[in-house]
Amino acid sequence: MHQLTLFDQYLHQRGKSVASLLQHYYTRHFRTDYGYDPGHELSLPQADDSYANKIKVLAPELESVVKRYDLFVEAGEVDPFLYEYKTGFRIDDAHSLLKEQQKYAVIAPENNEIYKLMYLLFSDQAGVNHVAPYLDNQAKMDVLKQLWDRQEISYHHCTPPMQAEIMRMMDSGWLEFDDHLLSPSERHWVNFYLNDAEYSNGLKIRNRYAHGQGNLRPEEDRAAYYALLLVFIVLLLKMDDDLALHQDLKK
């Protein structure tokens, strides 16, 4: 977060901002490289606005960007009529273009077998005497280690041997696929920053500023603004990755 703040200050000295870079990235890069037309231009806050006002401008834009992308996933285009009637949308509900092509592999609910195996392999409190057969299968070990560390794995960023192991684990009922734009942990992270859907102690940036509350101290508004900007950057990068993978898989 500190690096983002310093970079924005550096850009301001040159008459630019991180927000203006996002606008260029969103409106030109996506159209030029992927043929994705979101059907609108980003509305950016004024450079001399207070941080509280910047958040009030940027937060609805963030939701609009993801809502339009989800509509594109559903309908193949961003239809203005459908956009207006797509109500009750939440950012963590957005889906991936890879909905039929295994976006994320996650541990299947109530599956204790894989947890027991990962515990024996990777826990500091357990030995590996009972899992020797797995030690000769590097691809399986790599998949299990990522699942142990993250509880999820991005299928299309894995090597072919790892993908084959993931499919075997799917057939065994150890794993299932998640077709959202964001992985489960990323959805938790976004909800922590933006709303109170999951966490009572989250930052709730969108909810707080949308209802006109904000903070009494400017430094808190400043921190909230750069946190929101970080979420915006991450979501655009996730869309970029989704579009790039979809384009590659069509070749």
For residue 220, the enclosing domain spans: 2-97+183-249
Q: Are residues 191 and 83 in the same domain?
A: yes
The domain boundary residue, chosen from 159, 178, 197 = 178
Domain boundary, last residue among 146, 178, 210: 178
pLDDT digits (tens, 9 = 90+) for 183-200: 999 999 999 999 988 998
Tokens 């109530």, residue located: 110
At what angle are helices 218-249 and 184-194 packed, to 10 degrees?
Answer: 150
Render the burial of 40-52: b for 16+ CB within 10 Å, e for the rest.
eebebbeeeeebb
Residues 32/206, Cβ–Cβ less than 8 Å? no
Is there a contact between 67 and 74 (Cβ–Cβ < 8 Å)?
A: no
Q: Are 200 and 38 in contact (CB under 8 A)?
A: no
CA atoms of 17 and 47, how far apart (whole Å): 8
Q: What is the number of other CB atoms lying within 10 angstroms of the CB of residue 74?
A: 13
Q: Are both 76 and 159 inside the same structural domain? A: no
Is the pLDDT assigned to residue 213 strictly greater than 70?
no
**Same structural domain for residues 67 and 26?**
yes
Do 200 and 170 sit in the same domain of this protein? no
Q: Mark whether 92 and 187 lie in a shared domain.
A: yes
Domain count, the chain: 2
- Give this prediction's pTM: 0.92
96 against 136, higher pLDDT: 96
Residues 31 and 110 in one domain: no
34/62 same-domain check: yes
Strand 175-178's sheet: what is its strand order? 152-154, 104-107, 175-178
CA gap 74, 99 in Å, rounded: 10
Residues 51 and 8 in one domain: yes
Residue 208 confidence class, pLDDT cut points 50, 70, 90: confident
In DSSP terms, 153 is beta-bridged to 105
Is the domain of 112 the same as that of 151?
A: yes
Residues 44 and 127 in one domain: no
pLDDT tens digits for range 104-128: 999 999 889 999 889 888 887 766 5
The reply to whether 89 and 211 lie within a common domain is: yes
Amino acid at 31: R
Q: What is the DSSP letter of 198?
A: S
Total length of the chain: 251
3-state class of 95 per DSSP? strand
Domain limit, last residue, from 134, 152, 178 = 178
Residues 80 and 112 in one domain: no
